[in-house]
Amino acid sequence: MGETISRKKSFGFLNPFRSKKSWSPDSRTTSVSEYSIDELKLEQAPSRPGNKLRKKSLTNLRATPSSKSLRKKALVQSKHPPLPATRVEDPYDRDAQTGERKDHTEMLHSLAVRGSLESLVEKTKILFAGIPPETGEQFLSRFPPGAWERIVDHLDLADAASLAFSCKAFRDIVGTEAWSSLNAEENHDYKTDFLGRLDPDLPDHLLCFPCAIYHLRTQMGHEILRPTNIANPIFNCPNAFNLEKKVSRTRLVVGRTLPFPFLQLILRGQKYSLAHGIPIESMNRRYRDSNSEWSHQFRFAVVHGHLLVRVISSAFAEPALPPAGLRKLLYSPNERFTPYFSVCAHWQDGELMPSVKCALSHIPKPLDPLDASGVAGVAAHVKYRLHRPSPLITLCSQCRPMRRCPKCPSEYLIELRMQEDRRDPSKLFKHAIVLTRWFDLGDGSSPRSREWAACNGDAEYDSFAALGRRAISGTFESQFTVDQIPGQNIISMNPEGEDRGEAGHNWY
Residues that bind Zn ion (CB under 5 A): 208, 211, 237, 239, 344, 346, 358, 396, 398-399, 405, 407-408, 410
Listed in order, strand segments (DSSP E) in 192-264 are: 205-208, 213-216, 249-253, 256-259
Minimum Å gap between C-beta 157 and Zn ion is: 21
Length of the chain: 508
Whether the CB-CB separation of 23 and 15 falls below 8 Å is answered with no
Judged by beta carbon, residue 235 or residue 316, the one nearer Zn ion is 235
φ and ψ at residue 122, rounded to 5 degrees:
-60, -45
302 in helix, strand or coil?
strand
Judged by beta carbon, residue 13 or residue 461, the one nearer Zn ion is 461
Judged by beta carbon, residue 239 or residue 475, the one nearer Zn ion is 239
Distance, CA of 261 to CA of 118 (rounded, Å): 50
Whether the CB-CB separation of 215 and 247 falls below 8 Å is answered with no
Judged by beta carbon, residue 17 or residue 241, the one nearer Zn ion is 241
Distance, CA of 283 to CA of 294 (rounded, Å): 19
Distance, CA of 158 to CA of 108 (rounded, Å): 56
Whether the CB-CB separation of 182 and 191 falls below 8 Å is answered with yes
Who contacts 447 (Cβ-Cβ below 8 Å, separation ≥6)?
Answer: 209, 248, 260, 453
Who contacts 135 (Cβ-Cβ below 8 Å, separation ≥6)?
Answer: 169
Minimum Å gap between C-beta 349 and Zn ion is: 9
Minimum Å gap between C-beta 299 and Zn ion is: 20
Judged by beta carbon, residue 81 or residue 501, the one nearer Zn ion is 501
Minimum Å gap between C-beta 293 and Zn ion is: 21
Q: How far is CA 321 from CA 241, 263, 372, 430, in A?
A: 42, 39, 20, 15
Judged by beta carbon, residue 13 or residue 260, the one nearer Zn ion is 260
Judged by beta carbon, residue 84 or residue 277, the one nearer Zn ion is 277
Query: Could you write out the DSSP letters of every residue in 38-101?
Result: HHHHHHH-TTS--HHHHHHHHHHHHHSTTHHHHHHHHHHHHTSTT-GGG--S-SSEE-TTT-PE
Minimum Å gap between C-beta 138 and Zn ion is: 43
Judged by beta carbon, residue 344 or residue 433, the one nearer Zn ion is 344
Sign, CA dihedral 372-373-374-376, equals negative
Minimum Å gap between C-beta 500 and Zn ion is: 15
Distance, CA of 109 to CA of 14 (rounded, Å): 12
Minimum Å gap between C-beta 497 and Zn ion is: 13
Distance, CA of 103 to CA of 124 (rounded, Å): 28
Minimum Å gap between C-beta 169 and Zn ion is: 34
Judged by beta carbon, residue 78 or residue 239, the one nearer Zn ion is 239
Distance, CA of 488 to CA of 436 (rounded, Å): 13
Judged by beta carbon, residue 49 or residue 406, the one nearer Zn ion is 406
Q: How many CB atoms lie within 10 A of CB 506?
A: 14
Listed in order, strand segments (DSSP E) in 171-260 are: 205-208, 213-216, 249-253, 256-259
Judged by beta carbon, residue 295 or residue 342, the one nearer Zn ion is 342
Whether the CB-CB separation of 432 and 314 falls below 8 Å is answered with yes
Judged by beta carbon, residue 120 or residue 396, the one nearer Zn ion is 396
Minimum Å gap between C-beta 208 and Zn ion is: 3
Minimum Å gap between C-beta 230 and Zn ion is: 19
Minimum Å gap between C-beta 440 and Zn ion is: 11
Judged by beta carbon, residue 171 or residue 448, the one nearer Zn ion is 448
Minimum Å gap between C-beta 344 and Zn ion is: 3
Minimum Å gap between C-beta 149 and Zn ion is: 36
Distance, CA of 477 to CA of 185 (rounded, Å): 42
253 in helix, strand or coil?
strand
